[in-house]
Chains A and B, each alone.
Chain A
């Protein structure tokens, strides 16, 4: 569960992008954030992901009533343990193998390497990319890379997944696979999945939609 109360933010003081936004994203639901370009879809995800600090308002994540008030260390630990990110271009480290990319976040969440690797193997298996575990990101398709990114986001068993245009670079088939994977994470694992997207197929698959 992610709750926003009176959230305001802009990159310039004179140009607020979000102005007193109130909204609640339900746990176990697939939620979409839509709107035309420049309306703050990605910005909202970064605010929820605690990578940006709002001008005003608060972000409640689970039992943390106002995560924006935490210092950098606590925000980072909360992000590592409770929040998973999926980016438009997957943003995998090209120098690591697929499985090492998936386990990268374990270091910051304090998950032992062995346990992280076992979890990563299960996730890769579940999202049908296990055979690519020892490949480099340059050796997998865009859809596979995005599923690897989803595995990375799920590794630390987060309560929230924030996906920024996850199907933006994918063909229809790959996009469908990613939507199904995100849907499964929400409906099977009870994760709050919030997707910023223009994609009508994504919006159609979501349980709730916030139109900015």
Chain B
């Protein structure tokens, strides 16, 4: 252990005593790391943004509909869907009917739907205890009802009991269509006619569609339609594949170029140090010591170079894309650049280790 630490210290000392070779190696590795982070980093950031946009468009959404009401789904189906692995959330809705404030029979109606299960986190609401006979108004429905605040009575028709609007909700994707309506707690006898579920990844959607179909238990299976965004899922996979291939090509090409340049530079450095290695061999360095010395020296320089390059690449990405690459991506690039440096050092290290020391030690 102590000898290992002293070998590392010796490698660092040698690196500092050869400022030109050290600077060139550090520059090469910094360039490799910087180019990868700034190009592939941008690709990754763009890929992330595009995929996020596609996902926002609903690639993870699964919609189950009872098209003509003959499936007769009850509230328990929402619980069964929620229990499936890889489902983020599921919420069911009953038949929508129009409501108006009492005494405004001629006014345009605003739909009200009973919902089943829990509203997901993407729907923010005012405090509410969902009791039958109460409802929440969507943020756009408040104006449609002619209310100044989210409070007041509504009814479906003059002879039906009033429903009290007791608060508001604001739904995000993919439930934003609810914002022009009201939701109410079910009174126990309504059927579920529409279920919206969100998978935790777009890749799981095909599997989950089948799984959901298996837990529906409809009275008439012919009335059930399950909709997913297959085409969007395919676009998503294509974008991910194309950009991934592009990024991998850049990484591979840059690493290969960096590896060759580093190997040539280290080879030049060890050639210039022939007498140094001859002296070390005479002092008792084994071939393994020489290989370790050259490799550790190169790795130490590569760590510094890769760190600086990654930092500069991150700045470039931030300037062009507006967000920094994820830390694990940057760390992976630094690790790859350092590994490339280590691999590049081995052939010149072997040349140095196996060179005949007597040839350089003899004075003609």
B231 CB within 8 Å of chain A: no
Q: Which 6 A-B pairs have the closest CB atoms?
A: A80-B284, A76-B286, A108-B284, A95-B17, A105-B283, A85-B282
Question: In the bound complex, how far is the Cα of B280 from the Cα of A109, in angstroms?
Answer: 12
Taking a contact as CB atoms under 8 Å apart, the answer to whether B286 and A72 are in contact is yes
- What string of 1s and 0s marks CB contacts (under 8 Å) between B270-312 and chain A? 0000011001111111111100000000000000000000000
Report the nearest B residue to A112, measured CB to CB. B2
Taking a contact as CB atoms under 8 Å apart, the answer to whether B285 and A91 are in contact is no
B side interface size, CB within 8 A: 25
Taking a contact as CB atoms under 8 Å apart, the answer to whether B276 and A76 are in contact is no
Complex A-B: 25 CB contacts under 8 Å: A42-B362, A46-B358, A51-B357, A51-B358, A52-B358, A72-B286, A72-B287, A76-B284, A76-B285, A76-B286, A76-B287, A79-B283, A80-B283, A83-B284, A85-B282, A85-B283, A91-B279, A91-B361, A93-B276, A105-B283, A107-B6, A107-B10, A108-B286, A108-B289, A112-B2
- What string of 1s and 0s marks CB contacts (under 8 Å) between A87-119 and chain B? 111010101100000001101111011000000
Question: In the bound complex, how far is the Cα of B281 from the Cα of A77, in angstroms?
Answer: 10
Report the nearest A residue to B289, measured CB to CB. A108
Q: Which one of A91, A105, A110, A156 lies within 8 Å of B3 (CB-CB)? A: A110
Taking a contact as CB atoms under 8 Å apart, the answer to whether B286 and A51 are in contact is no
Q: How would you classify the secondary structure of chain B's contact residues: helix, strand, loop or mixed?
A: helix
A165 CB within 8 Å of chain B: yes
A54 CB within 8 Å of chain B: no
Taking a contact as CB atoms under 8 Å apart, the answer to whether A107 and B287 are in contact is no
- Residues in B neighbouring A93, C-beta threshold 8 A: 276, 279
Question: In the bound complex, how far is the Cα of B116 from the Cα of A89, in angstroms?
Answer: 93
B7 CB within 8 Å of chain A: yes
Taking a contact as CB atoms under 8 Å apart, the answer to whether B284 and A81 are in contact is yes
B210 CB within 8 Å of chain A: no
Interface size range of chain A in the complex: 35 or more
A99 to chain B, nearest CB (A): 14
Question: In the bound complex, how far is the Cα of B284 from the Cα of A191, in angstroms?
Answer: 18
Given contacts A42-B362, A51-B361, 19 further A-B contacts (CB under 8 A): A46-B361, A52-B358, A72-B287, A73-B286, A75-B286, A76-B284, A77-B284, A79-B283, A80-B284, A91-B279, A91-B282, A93-B276, A95-B17, A104-B280, A104-B283, A108-B283, A108-B285, A165-B363, A168-B363
A147 CB within 8 Å of chain B: no
Question: In the bound complex, how far is the Cα of B3 from the Cα of A156, in angstroms?
Answer: 15
B164 to chain A, nearest CB (A): 84
- Residues in A neighbouring B286, C-beta threshold 8 A: 72-73, 75-77, 108
A49 CB within 8 Å of chain B: yes
Report the nearest A residue to B360, measured CB to CB. A91
A58 CB within 8 Å of chain B: no
- What string of 1s and 0s marks CB contacts (under 8 Å) between B1-18 and chain A? 011001100100000011
Report the nearest A residue to B17, measured CB to CB. A95
Question: In the bound complex, how far is the Cα of B276 from the Cα of A91, in angstroms?
Answer: 9
Question: In the bound complex, how far is the Cα of B358 from the Cα of A32, in angstroms?
Answer: 20
- CB-CB under 8 A for A152 and B283, given A46-B358, A76-B289: yes
Report the nearest A residue to B278, measured CB to CB. A91
- Residues in A neighbouring B283, C-beta threshold 8 A: 79-80, 85, 104-105, 108, 152
- CB-CB under 8 A for A87 and B361, given A107-B7, A107-B10: yes
Question: In the bound complex, how far is the Cα of B286 from the Cα of A85, in angstroms?
Answer: 15
B40 to chain A, nearest CB (A): 39
Taking a contact as CB atoms under 8 Å apart, the answer to whether B284 and A49 are in contact is no
B5 to chain A, nearest CB (A): 10
Taking a contact as CB atoms under 8 Å apart, the answer to whether A88 and B363 are in contact is yes
Q: Which one of B3, B280, B363 lies within 8 Å of A89 (CB-CB)? A: B363
